[in-house]
Amino acid sequence: MPAVGLCVEGLKPGNYGLEKPEDDLSFENLVQWVPTMLTKHQMRWSERAAQVIGPFEQNAFVYIVPELGQEMVNSWLTKVFMIAAEYVNDKTEGTIGLVAPFFDNQLDPGVPQLSEMMRIEDKEILPKIFVFHSKANKLSVYDYSYNDYEISPEMLILWARREILASDIIGMEAFIEELKERKEELTEGNPDHYPMFDQTVLEQIATLDDMR
């Protein structure tokens, strides 16, 4: 079975192969896979990360801190987020974990600050945790009240998953409505021309019900 491996110092081995007959081990897929794997490993905002959540439409699970330093590294919230982000990066598809300071002076020219994308104007409110849904261009903030040590990695993972699914559902509902509106066009007036149309809609609706 054809496969491609990515080996980087400190990075867990990753494999990309033709696990199913319909899988496409194409140049375009590899161009997306390599930057995504590297971004998951580094977990830092960069030109590569901007490409992954921009053109490649990966979602982002984000932790913005006032500044990087030992105090922030030792913070209990940082440790909780890192455990959650490592799980997201290692066990899920379509979402990457990222950490960034309010202002990163090491960014390449032309790359916007991640804090700007997360619409943060004052670093005094930091640290904060966000989820960015790329296709929906929707930003969610973990804005619940909590005291020290009252948040667990599992809570953050479930919250992030819920926010992503909520946006997925909205997008799927819009897609179904578009299919319904274009049914005449897609079937060219003949239901037999596109016999899977009705079944496709029913499957989408059933999936929505399951996700709820």
* Same domain, yes or no: 100 and 111: yes
* Same domain, yes or no: 60 and 127: yes
* Distances 194 to 148, 179, 190 between C-alpha atoms, Å: 57, 12, 8
For 56-85, write each residue's pLDDT tens digit. Answer: 889 999 999 998 888 888 899 999 999 999
Name the burial class of residue 127, with classes exposed (0-12), middle (13-18) and buried (19+) by CB atoms within 10 angstroms of its CB: middle
* Same domain, yes or no: 28 and 64: no
SS3 letters across 74-105: CCHHHHHHHHHHHHHHHHCCCEEEEEEECCCC
Read off the CATH number of the domain in which 67 is found.
3.40.30.10
Helices (H), ranges, 19-69: 27-42, 47-53
Residue 191 lies in a domain: no
What one-letter code names the amino acid at 12?
Answer: K
* Same domain, yes or no: 48 and 129: yes
Please report where in the chains the tokens 């980087």 appear, as a residue.
Answer: 8
Query: Quick one: which H or E segment has residue 139?
Result: strand 138-141
pLDDT reported for residue 200: 58
Question: Closest Cα to residue 130, out of 170, 84, 169?
Answer: 84
For 159-209, write each residue's pLDDT tens digit. Answer: 999 999 999 988 888 877 877 777 666 666 665 555 445 555 556 555 655
Residue 154: domain span: 43-161
Residue 200 lies in a domain: no
* Same domain, yes or no: 88 and 17: no
Residue 148 lies in a domain: yes
- Decide: helix, strand or coil at residue 192: helix
- Decide: helix, strand or coil at residue 190: coil
To the question of pTM greater than 0.95 for the whole model, the response is no
